Amino acid sequence: MPKRSTPKKRAARKSPAKSTRSSKPSKGIPHFLSVAVVVSDRNNAVAWYTEKFGLDVVDDMDHWQTVGRKGAPGLLHLCQVTEYDADGKLEPGNSGNAFTLPGDFQAACQALMDRGVEFTTPPTKFDWGWGATVRDPDGNEIYLTPGA
């Protein structure tokens, strides 16, 4: 039977002082542009996501209305259900979308509460860190976590 060799110890990696992630997408590699959120009324949704949730209108071109942060990647495309299915039904619940809240997480959540945003899970300290869940007027739930 051959002898097992002892694995060599790896040198400890030094973490860079500055992030090496680029905000520009690499050539030939897909990057996130937008994700659809199905809503009952696009105008009401735009108002909620901008006035209550604090996002910006990034695109406003008839059907293509997106909200997010101007100049930042990642947008929500607000899709009105009746535009693609006259009898379409909303499916409230976990939308799969997550947002980071920069700065003091609890204070940022309180600011959302003060603007009338409904929390289905209030800011909670879990074993792994802080989190919360909010619900838009159509029942789409959005996960919140602290961010830089």
Query: Which option is the CATH number for 93-148: 1.10.1740.110, 3.60.15.10, 1.20.1250.20, 3.10.180.10?
Result: 3.10.180.10
Task: Say how far residue 27 (Cα) sits from the centre of its chain.
Answer: 24
The upper half-sphere exposure of residue 70, i.e. CA atoms within 13 Å in the direction of its Cβ, equals 7
pLDDT of residue 89: 84
pLDDT of residue 19: 37
Rounded Cα–Cα distance for residues 88 and 83 (Å): 9
pLDDT of residue 88: 83
Q: Which residues of the chain have pLDDT under 70?
A: 1-26, 31-32
Domain ranges of the chain: 31-82, 93-148
* 31-82 and 93-148 in the same fold: yes
CATH architecture of 31-82: Roll (3.10)
H-helix or E-strand spanning residue 107 = helix 105-114
DSSP state of 16: P
pLDDT of residue 74: 86
What does R_g of the chain's alpha carbons equal in angstroms? 21
**Each residue's pLDDT tens digit, 27-52:** 777 766 788 999 999 999 999 999 99
